[in-house]
Amino acid sequence: MAVAEQDESTALLEQVNQARAINTPLQIRGGASKAWLGRSLRGTVIDTRSHCGIVNYDPTELVITARAGTRLADLTRVLQDNGQMLACEPPYTDDGATLGGMLAAGLSGPRRPWAGAVRDAVLGTRVITGLGLHLRFGGEVMKNVAGYDLSRLMAGSFGCLGLISEVSLKVLPIPRCQAHIALELDAHSALLKLGQWGQQPLPISAACHDGQVLRVRLEGGDGSVRAACERLGGEPFAPSWWQALNHQRLDFFQDPRPLWRLSLPNNTAYLELAGDQLLDWAGAQRWLKSDADPEHLRKVASAQGGHATCYSPGLTDSPFQPLPAALMHYHRQLKQRLDPQGIFNPGRMYAEV
């Protein structure tokens, strides 16, 4: 371990142990690009940004290991220079977003249904637990499974289980060929088409309906992409549209009404809801701008086997959909094992955790 890395990780560990000694909560903060998502926090801020930098990266192994405070923009640039990428296409609304925040939030971009989620890319982590221990879980190769699932549990935990200090991720080569086509279809027809295409060998890596137009990204070899374009038809559009979608910079997201994210099973039919919808992930992720009652939206999502998350701060005290009693029981048990004093981001996701 390099001296600088050791000093930074030691400083983080010391701050955690000081909080344990006086039983005071900690707010884990990286770039704060997603600080608005979830319930309000209290406690002393512990900043991970100084604990940054790439620890190990061998492009031939398709694995990168970096410290939690590393900016996603910097990590992405290094990968692109080597013709590689994070397949989960993590969204970030500003350049301050960090690797630790990416894993803690567990959010994935347009490629998610075809390339996997953030948790699927995680090979290993180093985590400071609420017991004052700096532990390593998993490793840097796929066949190393010791602690592998615990590393994945950090994805989407929003800092409630521990302070992530280091992450190892698998990466993929950037596809050789891309095409971006737009087809004028209503939402019902678009979902039917996507359901049919999902059963066929088409090189689709993103599909989103914006209310009037179905936009599709095709990636792969030259021949397969060209053949798919000829088959599907449509008009080309600028690839920068996907980044605007992923980072919530489209005009849709500027609407002043509350923003909701509905996560639904594949092939869920179009839902008639008050407001405007943007259907991402071929319909599995639906963004909704609506003044509808939060309880009603959650009942609709639950009836389809999904859930609804509020992305507008202050609208509800429970931004994340409340868990069933049995599932909450397991969440509380896991929290008790890893953070028995409850010092890490208490109540960030649910009041009970």
pLDDT for residue 128: 97
CA–CA gap between residue 164 and residue 28 (Å, rounded): 9
pLDDT for residue 6: 60
**H or E element in which residue 337 lies:** helix 325-338
pLDDT for residue 269: 96
- Helix (H/G/I), strand (E/B), else coil: 65: strand
Average pLDDT estimate for 19-45: 94
Strand order in the sheet with 134-138: 54-58, 63-67, 163-170, 122-128, 134-138
pLDDT for residue 141: 58
Average pLDDT estimate for 337-352: 96
- Least confident among 2-6, 52-56, 57-61, 327-331: 2-6
pLDDT at 300 over 70: yes
Average pLDDT estimate for 5-11: 76
Residue 93 pLDDT grade (very low, low, confident, very high; cuts 50, 70, 90): confident
Average pLDDT estimate for 188-212: 96
Provide the residue type at 187 as one letter. Answer: A
Average pLDDT estimate for 228-247: 96
Centre a 10 Å sphere on the Cβ of residue 40 and count the other Cβ atoms it contains.
12
The contacts of residue 133 (CB under 8 Å, 6+ apart) are: none
CA–CA gap between residue 110 and residue 192 (Å, rounded): 19
Residue 346 pLDDT grade (very low, low, confident, very high; cuts 50, 70, 90): very high
pLDDT for residue 1: 45
CA 345 to chain centre: 18
Q: How far is CA 6 from CA 12, 13, 45, 54, 65, in A?
A: 10, 10, 21, 14, 16
Q: The tokens of 179 are what?
A: 């095409």
Average pLDDT estimate for 296-307: 97
CA–CA gap between residue 333 and residue 242 (Å, rounded): 39
pLDDT per position as a tens digit, 274-284: 999 999 999 99
- Check residues 147 and 169 and name the one with the higher pLDDT: 169
pLDDT at 58 over 50: yes
DSSP annotation string for 214-237: EEEEEEE-HHHHHHHHHHH--EE-
Please, what is the average pLDDT of the chain? 93
pLDDT for residue 9: 87
pLDDT per position as a tens digit, 249-283: 999 999 999 999 999 999 999 999 999 999 999 99
Q: The tokens of 212 are what?
A: 């009037």
Q: Name the β-bridge partners of 168.
A: 65, 124
CA–CA gap between residue 27 and residue 9 (Å, rounded): 17
Residue whose tokens read 């996997």? 116
- Least confident among 49-63, 77-91, 139-153: 139-153
Residue 3 pLDDT grade (very low, low, confident, very high; cuts 50, 70, 90): very low
pLDDT for residue 5: 54
Average pLDDT estimate for 229-248: 96
Q: Is 54 exposed, middle or buried (0-12, 13-18, 19+ CB in 10 A)?
A: middle
CA–CA gap between residue 166 and residue 55 (Å, rounded): 9
**H or E element in which residue 278 lies:** strand 276-280
pLDDT at 165 over 70: yes
pLDDT per position as a tens digit, 140-151: 654 444 544 788
Q: Which domains does the chain have, with CATH numbers?
A: 3-173 (3.30.465.10), 177-310 (no CATH)
Average pLDDT estimate for 33-55: 94
